[in-house]
Structure 1
Amino acid sequence: MTSLLKKSASKVGSRNLDESSTVEDANARIIELRASIGTLTGRLDQFADDACLRRYLRARNWNIKKAEKMLKDTLAWRESYKPEDIRWSDIAGESETGKIYRASIKDKNGHTVLVMHPGRQNTSNPEMQIKQLVYFLENAVLNLPEGQEQMIWLIDFKGWSMKKSTPIGLARETANILQNHYPERLHVAVLYNPPRLFEAFWTIVKPFLDPKTFRKVKFVYSKNAESQKILSELFEENATKTIFEDPNDYTHEDYAKLMQEDDKKSALYWKGAGEAKTGAEPAADVQSKAADISEAASLKTEEGAAVNDAPASAPESLAPVAPAPVATPVVAPVS
């Protein structure tokens, strides 16, 4: 536990000096990236706004060629998988135990919060588990407040056991989706009270994680005051108490009503009306431009010097990998 805590001690959500040096430089790269992906129509055009392109550039350290490949892969995936068309009725059975849900709280900075309880695994169909995860990623993005682009993951290991560990195939597909199709959407992922056995698995899987994602994973233990500071930095006092301590933190019937209303918002947004998130992306775009100036390091050096932060091979999940029944995908999420 001590070694994991040391690696979680850096400031939560701290940014890396890998931004474009000026707004003008950033905008020029966005224009070049847009030209490289060609003309888009319909939902893909709506998806690939300037804020989206900026996130993909950030994920690839403002390397246009690498961002182009990453974005084109996502566009092809979205056109095929159609994540925006997934509805609550499609994944309601997966969600009966509350193994994944969007919390009613936000952190001090307004980040949407996704809660995961891998110990509540209730199904064994990997395709449906992926669909549930994608649904909640889309839902978390839909519910981001104005001026915010990122979410927080709270992963509670209460009730987890080896029998509920994630098979390698599902872990690989999960991490691929998270890191490559939702880049720069994660603020921080908190792993709460992972058992000692998890440390060995973490050592195995961390080399497969994107470096940016790796730096956003924080280990928190209820009996370790130092690690608890991570939560206090993120949330108001007792804000997460129900999530981590109340076994009845989730009521399926009530939550279903909330998600059905969100499905209506999603349908409206992707229809192109825009009412579902009026002003949210432009505000986030402004916030991103400010970050480009205040926290950036110049990329006036050779483009080829940009570090390729993509995993050397297909990434794996943060959840332990073992030949066990399929379980909730628990991974270090999207950077």
Structure 2
Amino acid sequence: MSAGIKKSPSNGSENILTCEDQQAKINEVRKLIGTVPDKLSTYCSDASISRHLRARNWNVKKATKMLKDTLKWRSEYKPEEIRWEEVAREADTGKIYRSNYMDKHGRPVLVMRPSCQNSKSTKGQIRYLVYCMENAILNLPPDQEQMVWLIDFQGFNLSHISVKVTRETAHVLQDHYPERLGLAILYNPPKFFEPFYTLVKPFLEPKTYNKVKFVYPEDLNTKKIMEDLFDIEKLEAAFGGNDTAGFDITKYAERMKEDEKKMPTIWTTGNPPLAASQPVPTSAALSLDSVKLDSNSDASDNGKTGSSVSHGIEPEIVSDHNMAVAPSTTNATDGVDRV
């Protein structure tokens, strides 16, 4: 069966492919990528290639270029080698952290508090964000690819806004973490935040900002929304839950150090969330210079491309204020996948 086209009011035209067609495109991307160093082979699994294809509406050339760029970025930035001691200072105030609970769909939850920003270093903020993304991905259950962001706007003001950090955040998350965001909840943002969203929206792709929802405590639907997504007993009080413990940097540091002990398994057995299928055979003797693209692929990527239907669960949040907003803007101050 050939691909069909579905029109979506939020995402534009989306390719609907059979499983056979999807696998054929995955195989085509793998062939174009070629052989990569062993340490990067995890990111060439069927699941990883599929996320890149969905992020580029199943366009093989664009997905190949996106994946090639990500492999180059990972080889240079080495996100999997970031350790707690390097980012502990950025984490001190609890501006971003992985919660000790998941949502009802089994997705890890990253809590973000822009008002707790404690750094003016764009480099430091982005590096800590990448650390948090890698940690959330490390803790994905085998049947889940995506995560949830819970953004608490308590105490947020204009001084916490940084367009520069937001732009860099959008670049890293959209280009190097495709299809990792399932849902982002902006909890009680102030009215002045909406104009900022309008300002940064051009940095984002439709699939990204359509996954982000405004939620207000005074909205009658809010309680049901949170109950549908989370176990209220485990949910933090700041989001309407019953957990009043709060963030403890000492306990969190212990959790992160324990997680870091899992990191070597990524290179010995493959990362379960990524290696949903057989990895492509690789050779460490070859470098990324061997990864070749068709000479026309760059030219075809000059513009943004619409995103495909997400394979993750994306519950809709109904609110009078329900509008799309850049997830990274919520972390404009704390350095917060194509998400």
Does structure 2 retain, via aligned residues, the 8 Å contact 1:191–1:218? Answer: yes
Does structure 1 retain, via aligned residues, the 8 Å contact 2:43–2:274? Answer: no
Gaps of 5+ in 1: 1-9, 286-303, 322-326
The answer on 1:201 being equivalent to 2:185 is no
Structure 2 SS opposite 1:18: strand
What are the equivalent positions in structure 2 for 1:28-67 lying under 5 Å apart? 28-67=24-63
Describe the shift of the 1:243–1:141 C-alpha distance in structure 2 as closer, same or farther (beyond 3 A): farther
Q: Give the aligned partner of residue 21 of structure 1.
A: 17
TM-score, structure 2 length as denominator? 0.78
Q: Deviations over 1:58-105 (max 9, x none)?
A: 001101011011111111110110000001111011111111000011
1:163 CA drift (Å): 1.4
TM-score, structure 1 length as denominator? 0.79
Does structure 2 retain, via aligned residues, the 8 Å contact 1:158–1:193? Answer: yes
The answer on 1:250 being equivalent to 2:278 is no
Q: Give the aligned partner of residue 143 of structure 2.
A: 147
Describe the shift of the 1:320–1:32 C-alpha distance in structure 2 as closer, same or farther (beyond 3 A): closer
1:149 CA drift (Å): 0.4
Tell me how far apart the structure 1 counterparts of residues 111 and 225 of structure 2 sit (CA, whole Å).
16
Within the candidate set 178, 183, 186, 2:178 is matched to 183
What are the equivalent positions in structure 2 for 1:267-286 lying under 5 Å apart? 267-269=264-266, 271-274=267-270, 277-278=271-272, 281-282=275-276
The answer on 1:329 being equivalent to 2:312 is no
Describe the shift of the 1:117–1:42 C-alpha distance in structure 2 as closer, same or farther (beyond 3 A): same
Structure 2 SS opposite 1:94: helix
Does structure 2 retain, via aligned residues, the 8 Å contact 1:193–1:221? Answer: yes
CA RMSD of aligned residues (A): 2.9
Structure 2 SS opposite 1:154: strand
1:125 CA drift (Å): 1.4
Does structure 2 retain, via aligned residues, the 8 Å contact 1:171–1:316? Answer: no
Describe the shift of the 1:211–1:197 C-alpha distance in structure 2 as closer, same or farther (beyond 3 A): same
Describe the shift of the 1:19–1:239 C-alpha distance in structure 2 as closer, same or farther (beyond 3 A): farther
Does structure 2 retain, via aligned residues, the 8 Å contact 1:126–1:170? Answer: yes
Structure 2 SS opposite 1:233: helix
Tell me how far apart the structure 1 counterparts of residues 46 and 31 of structure 2 sit (CA, whole Å).
12
Describe the shift of the 1:176–1:280 C-alpha distance in structure 2 as closer, same or farther (beyond 3 A): closer
Describe the shift of the 1:104–1:17 C-alpha distance in structure 2 as closer, same or farther (beyond 3 A): farther
Q: Give the aligned partner of residue 300 of structure 1.
A: none
Q: Give the aligned partner of residue 106 of structure 1.
A: 102
Does structure 2 retain, via aligned residues, the 8 Å contact 1:147–1:280? Answer: no
Describe the shift of the 1:320–1:96 C-alpha distance in structure 2 as closer, same or farther (beyond 3 A): closer
Does structure 1 retain, via aligned residues, the 8 Å contact 2:12–2:306? Answer: no
Structure 2 SS opposite 1:40: coil
Does structure 2 retain, via aligned residues, the 8 Å contact 1:201–1:320? Answer: no
Q: Give the aligned partner of residue 225 of structure 1.
A: 220
Tell me how far apart the structure 2 counterparts of residues 139 and 121 of structure 1 sit (CA, whole Å).
20
Tell me how far apart the structure 2 counterparts of residues 99 and 68 of structure 1 sit (CA, whole Å).
34
Tell me how far apart the structure 2 counterparts of residues 64 and 39 of structure 1 sit (CA, whole Å).
17
What are the equivalent positions in structure 2 for 1:99-138 lying under 5 Å apart? 99-138=95-134
Equivalent residues, number: 289
Within the candidate set 135, 152, 159, 1:163 is matched to 159
The answer on 1:213 being equivalent to 2:219 is no
Q: Percent identity?
A: 47
Q: Give the aligned partner of residue 293 of structure 1.
A: none
Gaps of 5+ in 2: 1-7, 280-299, 308-325
